[in-house]
Amino acid sequence: MVEIELSVVIPAWNEERRIVPSLEAAAPVLHRLVSEHEIVVVDDGSTDRTLEAARACCEATGQRFRGIRLERNTGKGGAVQRGMLEASGRYALFCDADRSTPMEALADFLPHMQVDLPVLIGTRKSREAHIDRHQPWLRETMGKGFTALAQALIGVQVTDFTCGFKLFRRDAAQQIFMRQTVHDWSFDAEILFLAGALGYPIREVPVTWTNDEDTRVRLLRDTWNSLQGLLRIRRQKRAGIYRLGKGEG
């Protein structure tokens, strides 16, 4: 049986329009960079033909495809969790359907994969990162505030929690995502907290990033929910909910 080098997990909610161009653009890059890969699309309770469109595109571009359909909308974090736990590659990458970070960014992750680092995350905050189109000022400012709060509340010292391009070695993915409890927009902070608490070093890799104006983020609602998520992570850490072992992280 051929070993799959990389699983690409894409959470998708009513993404019929955007997912096909993303998969078409990613296909030649993946064929060039990795020997064997699979596309895992997790349909998060869509009402359109997201999964059917993705399947047809992967068949046309010669990519191994696995579709997972969730009966109800669980939130991006829930879809990512399901896909990462079912991924069969030696490494599993989750990324967004909107191509905010193009698949070409994977080339800069490969050297770290070759030395077997367990957790690699894209960052837009490094001097080496390139932003083609910035978010609106308010979103950028609130994003900086979220980063500062996350660093203070859960003790994870990374520069960019929410960049949607994160890569995990399979063993690390299993240990981290089996413990995930948060499914809203603060799930990124939880999985990075878990990575650190479980002893996996986190390496940040600069990426190219373009803001997609057709975002699913609702600023005030999701900012409030994210703050509540950070507080929940902190409470659960103190209560020993995560089963981290001696010292609980």
Q: Which residues pair with 12 in a beta bridge?
A: 43
Taking the CA atoms of the chain, what radius of gyration do you get in angstroms?
17
Percent of the chain predicted with pLDDT > 90? 77
Contact criterion met (CB below 8 Å) for 184 and 132: no
Say how far apart CA 208 and CA 195 lie, in whole Å: 24
Q: Which residues pair with 206 in a beta bridge?
A: 123
Query: How, if at all, do strands 91-95 and 165-169 pair?
Result: antiparallel
User: Is the pLDDT confidence value at 65 over 90?
Assistant: yes
User: Is the pLDDT confidence value at 219 over 60?
Assistant: no
Contact criterion met (CB below 8 Å) for 7 and 93: yes
Span 166-193, mean pLDDT?
Answer: 96
Least confident piece of the model among 1-5, 99-103, 205-209: 1-5
**Domains in the chain, ordered, with CATH?**
6-135+160-181+199-211 (3.90.550.10)
Exposed / middle / buried, residue 218 (Cβ in 10 Å: 0-12, 13-18, 19+): exposed
Residues in the chain: 249
Q: What is the pLDDT of residues 97-131, one digit of tens each?
A: 998 999 999 999 999 999 999 999 999 999 899 88
Least confident piece of the model among 48-57, 104-113, 220-229: 220-229
Q: Tell me, what DSSP letter sits at residue 200?
A: -
Say how far apart CA 119 and CA 91 lie, in whole Å: 10
